[in-house]
Every structure is written in C-alpha cells, then in structure tokens.
Structure 1
Amino acid sequence: MTHRGRIVQSTGQWYEVAYAQGDDSQTISCRLPGRFRLEDHKLTNPIAVGDYVHFSRNDDGSGSIEEIEDRQNYLIRESTHHKEGNQILVSNIDCAYVVQSIKKPNIKRGFLDRFLVTCEAYQIPARIILNKMDLAEDKDKPHIDNLAELYDSLGYNVLLTSIKDEESLERLKEDLQDKTSVFVGPSGVGKTSLLNHIEPSINHKVGAVSDYNEKGVHTTTFAKLLPLQLGGYLVDTPGLREFGLVNIEPWELSLFFPEMLEFRQQCKFNNCTHSHEPGCGVMEAFEEGHIHPDRYDSYLNILDSLEND
C-alpha cells in the first residue's frame, strides 16, 4: 500500500515526508531508490523540498519513495563550486521572495535581478523583501524609495521590513497567509530573524554578520518546508552567495526582463541580444529613457556571463 505525502526536508540521504494520518499530520523518513537518481543526472537532487511523492512503509518504520509527482513549478539554480548538475531549491510554490538587507550586507543587485529572471523563466510569482529598514538613515531613504518604485513598476511587489517594526511584519504575514512561499537570499540578510518573528515556535538560530566583509554566517543548513500557524507554508533556504541561471540562452534573456518585452518586438533581428546590433528596439528604448539604466546594466552583466559560460 502506498501513501501520498510532501517532502518537507532533504538531508541528502533521507527525505522527511509529511502526510495525513486521519485528522493528524505525521512525518516519516524515506529513502529514494537509486533508479530515480539515474533518471536525471543533470540535477544534484532528484527530489526537492515541496515535491509531492508516493511512498510505501518498510518493516523498520522508514519509508521508500515509489513515485515523484510532476511539479507545478520549481526554483532552480546552477550548482556552485564546479559541481556537476543543477540544484532545485524548492518546488510547487505560490510565491518566491528574494530577501535583501539595505545594510550589513548591502543590497546585491546582481543577485536580485538573476533571481527575478529565474522566476520569470520558471513561471513563479516573485516579490522583493528589503529588510533591516531600522538601519536606514535619512540619506539612504531616497535610494530605497527609488529602488522600491522601480521594481513595483515592473510588477514585483516590494515589502519594506524590520523585526523592530511590527506593522511591517504584519503586512508580510498577510502576504504569506495560505500560500506556499520561499525565502531566498544571501547569508546575513535576516531571513531567519524574519522567520522567527513570523512563526516564533520555530526559534531558529540566528547568525552574526562579519564587520570585516559584511557576509553572514550560514544558520540554515538544509531547506525546510515549515507550516505556518497563520495558514500556508514557508520554505527557509540556506544563504546563497550567488544565483546562477539554468537553461537560459543569451538571445532569450530579454524575455525575462518585463520592461523589454514590448521593445524587443521592434528589433531588426530575431536573435538580437540588445547589446550591439543595429536596429535594436531595446537599445533605442534605453536611450530614450524607457528602460532604467541600472536594469539595463544588470541585463548586460547577466548577458555577458551567459555568453562566456
């Protein structure tokens, strides 16, 4: 007899699966047969947190995964440290939040835009959290306001948060309610602190940020799907230093910059990269002020990394 459940944590060798047992929710530790690992050698993890699976029980009380259901969507990134394969961070999510801190560490625009490109490519609704607003000085506020206005205009809701501002946390809770969401960002931006205030019963350890390089200490080792008392689930992920794109060709990158969609239709060449070609509608729009310089610079940086991969 098989049961249906959802992966709530993966530690490499074992998968924790939550499933319904009558009116209660239970978890069981499951292993994955080797045949699944061979089916998609391009992935470092054949199963991701958020996956729905079917499993059977073993005599020792553990489980064996028999089937992995098709994913509604998934958030993927290129593996780092020259490892083979790509990494699925989480699957079957309603919204992905990229978390950045305004200071300690500073906002990383490259990380932010790469994340948004991936969400566009894999059809995941995305939002932006600018955290640690309590550190903002008067001189910082125009920059923060301009940043929030820019991304709001592109369709990405921007939430300004601080664990010292209960009103901002309530707005975030309302946004998370009854959805499966994920927090992604570099170490030290305050993901765990936000999570502890959203769901105090979790009480995750919070790491410090180095004054020397403003890089955070990893406090989350494995991604984990956490139920929220307010309704829904939130996936906390380990801090990521970079976010490499997967299966995106240079000529299609502009498809995932919303502000370029209209103008790319006016390009002379179908495979225009909007970097040097004559008759480019996107470059013309940029020169006329219809595309923000920071976003166009970010586009060119990502394009360069794709062309030289």
Structure 2
Amino acid sequence: MPEEGRIVESTGRWYKVAYDEDTGMQTINCRLPGRFRLKDHALTNPIAVGDYVEFEINDDGSGSIEEIKDRENYLIRQSTHHQEDHQILAANIDRAYAVQSVKMPRMKQGFFDRFLVTCEAYQIPASIIINKMDLADENARAYVDSIAELYDSLGYPVLKTSIKDGKSLDRLQEDLRNNTSVFIGPSGVGKSSLLNSIDSNIDRKVGDISTFNEKGKHTTTFAKLLPLKIGGYIVDTPGIKEFGLVNIEPWELSLFFPEMLEARHNCKFNNCTHAHEPGCGVIESFKEGHIDADRYDSYLNILDSLQED
C-alpha cells in the first residue's frame, strides 16, 4: 500500500518526503523513476518542493516515488543556463513573495514585474517584501513609499521589513500563518535572516554582502519546505538574479498587467501589442496617466524579450 507525503527538500538526485505515520511526522529519502523525467524534456525538475506524492518504501529504508499528485499551482521560471529549459521553483503555493532590499543589493523594479507576471499567469496570489528598511535614508524611504503605493494600488500588498523592526516581523508572521508561502529574490536581500527572525526553529545560514558590487553570496543551495511554529510552511529558495518567463506569448502579456486589462478592450486591432500601434487603448491610457511610466517601461522590456525568444 503506497504512502502519501509531500516533498520538503530536493537535492537534484534525492527527494526528501514528509509523511504522517502512526508514530508522528516522518521523513524519507526517495528517488524518482526515470519515466517521470521523460514526460517533459523542457523541465529540469519534474517534481518540486511542495508537491504531493505517493511512494513505496523499499527494503533498504529508502523510498520510490510512484505518483505525483495534480498541482493546484506552481511557480516556474526559465533556466538561466539554457533558455529552452524550465525550472519549477515550488508547487501548491498559497502566496508567493518577491523579496528585495532597499540596498546591499539595490532594488530592481523589473524583477518585481517579471515575478508578478508569472504569478498572474499561474494563478498564484503575490506580495512584495522590501527588506533592510533600517538601511534606508530619507530619499530611499520616499522611493520605497512610492513603490508601495503603486503595487498596493494594483492589488499586490507590500511589506516593508527589517530584522530590527519587531512590528514589521509581526505583520509578516501574520501573513505567513497557516499558509504555504515561498520567498523569491536575489542573494543577499535577507531572506534567510527574515526567516531566522520570525521563527526560532529556523536556522538558515546567513551570508555576507560584497562591498565591491553589493551582490550577495548564495547561502541556500537547494529549495526547502520549512515548517513554521505559527502553522504553515515557507519555501526558502536559492538566490535568483533573473526571473525568465515561461510559456507566455507576446500577444497575451498585457493580460498579466492588471492596469491594462480594461484599456486593452479599446484597441483598434485584435493583435495589438500596445507598443506602437495606432488606435491602441493601452497607449492612450498610458498617455492619460492611468498607467505608471515605470510599469509601462517594464511591459515594453518584457515584450521585447518575449519577441526575441
């Protein structure tokens, strides 16, 4: 009789599965038969942290995964080394958080926008965390406030956090309570420090920041599903410098920008890219100030990258 469990760690060759036995929650190291890898050659990992599986226990105490349950959703990105390959970062997620810092390393709005497009496309509720607010001077705080106002207005809650600010950590804890959440962001933005601060049972390694280029060093090697004392789980992922989009066509990109949904119905042409066409409702809405200039610039940059693929 197969056991049922959930993937809590992936190391490439082995998958650690948590399952409930009569003696309480257990974990077992499982292998994935080759037939699963043949189903989708584009995927670097046919199974991901957060997946629910059925497995058999072998005589040597290891496990063999026999079935991957249907996913409610999953977060995916383009491989940084091979554009034709895709990587599933986590599966069955209640909320995904794009994490960046005020500085060390500095924040890039384009990362937020690519991340949010993927969350819209794969039906994952999304939020933004801007960390290291204790390092922000007056000008940086004003900029963060403007970013927060923009994304809040689009339906993406923004949390401003610092491990030195207990109130910000309390709010983050309440967001995470009883949910399966995932943190996504570049190395060095403080994901591991945040996790260590909100749950004393979590002890993730914290790396240094290079003062030369303000880039963080990888401290998380493999994605891991961590249980929280407050209930729920958090997926800690390796640092991600870029977020390449997967299976999104240029013509549908505007569907994943909430501020463009209504305006695109006023376009003269059905195949309008909202970049240069006459009679474009999105361009008109942008000119009238209803679409933020930086967001529209992000849209054009993403559109160019999709058209190049």
Q: What's the TM-score, normalizing by structure 2?
A: 0.99
Q: Which residue of 1 aligns with 2:143?
A: 143
Q: Within 2, Cα distance between the matches of 1:160 and 1:234?
A: 18
C-alpha separation in 1, matches of 2:235 and 2:11:
15
Counterpart-to-counterpart distance in 2, 1:13 and 1:141? 44
AA matched with 1:39: K
Cα separation, 1, equivalents of 2:258 and 2:139: 30
Cα distance in 2 between the residues matched to 1:235 and 1:23? 25
Q: Corresponding residue for 1:74?
A: 74
CA contact (8 A) 1:275 1:300 kept: yes
Give the conservation status (yes or no) of the 8 Å contact 1:44–1:84: no
Please say if residues 51 and 91 of structure 2, whose CA atoms lie closer than 8 Å, have aligned partners that are also in contact.
Answer: yes
Q: AA paired with 2:223?
A: A
* Residue matched to 1:208: 208
Structure-to-structure mapping, 1:167-186, within 5 angstroms: 167-186=167-186
| Ranges in structure 1 where 5+ consecutive residues have no aligned partner | none
Percent identity over the alignment is: 73
Partner of 1:39: 39
1:101 Cα deviation (Å)? 0.2
Aligned residue type for 2:235: V
| Native 8 Å contact 1:95 1:124 kept in 2 | yes
How far is 1:271 from its partner? 1.2
Residue-by-residue CA offset, 1:107-148 (whole Å, 9 max, x unaligned): 111111000000000000000000000001112222111110
SS in 2 for 1:159: strand
State the 1:82 CA deviation: 2.2
Q: Which amino acid aligns with 2:50?
A: G
8 Å CA contact 2:201–2:229 kept in 1: the answer is no
Query: Does residue 85 in structure 1 map to residue 82 in structure 2?
Result: no
CA deviations on 1:127-185 (whole Å, 9 max, x unpaired) are: 00000000011122221111100000000000000000011000000000000000000
Q: Distance between the aligned counterparts of 1:88 and 1:169, measured in 2? A: 28
- Superposed CA RMSD in Å reads 0.8
Secondary structure in structure 2 of the residue aligned to 1:28: strand
Provide the residue aligned with 2:277 in structure 1.
277
Q: In the alignment, is residue 307 of structure 1 matched against residue 288 of structure 2?
A: no
Asked if the contact 2:76–2:88 (Cα under 8 Å) also holds between the matched residues in 1, the reply is yes
The Cα of 1:84 is off from its aligned counterpart by 4.7
- Give runs of aligned pairs for residues 235-254 of structure 1, distance below 5 A: 235-254=235-254
> How far is 1:23 from its partner?
5.7
Unaligned runs of 5+ in 2: none
| Partner of residue 294, structure 1 | 294
Alpha-carbon distance in 1 for matches of 2:10, 2:84 = 19
- Corresponding residue for residue 61 of structure 2: 61
Alpha-carbon deviations, 1:235-267, whole Å to 9, x = none? 000001100000001111000000000000110
CA distance in 2, matches of 1:37, 1:307: 29
Q: Distance in 1 between matches of 2:43 and 2:69?
A: 16
Q: Which moved more, 1:76-85 or 1:217-226?
A: 76-85
Residue of structure 1 equivalent to 2:226? 226
Equivalent-residue separation in structure 2 for 1:145 and 1:194 (angstroms): 20
Moved over 4 A (4+): none
The structural deviation recorded for 1:29 is 0.4
Q: Distance in 2 between matches of 1:272 and 1:236?
A: 39
Matching residue's letter, 2:151 = Y
Mapped partners of 2:269, 2:165: distance in 1 = 50
1:150 and 1:126 mapped to 2: Cα distance? 14
Q: Distance in 2 between matches of 1:114 and 1:237?
A: 17
Amino acid at match of 1:126: A
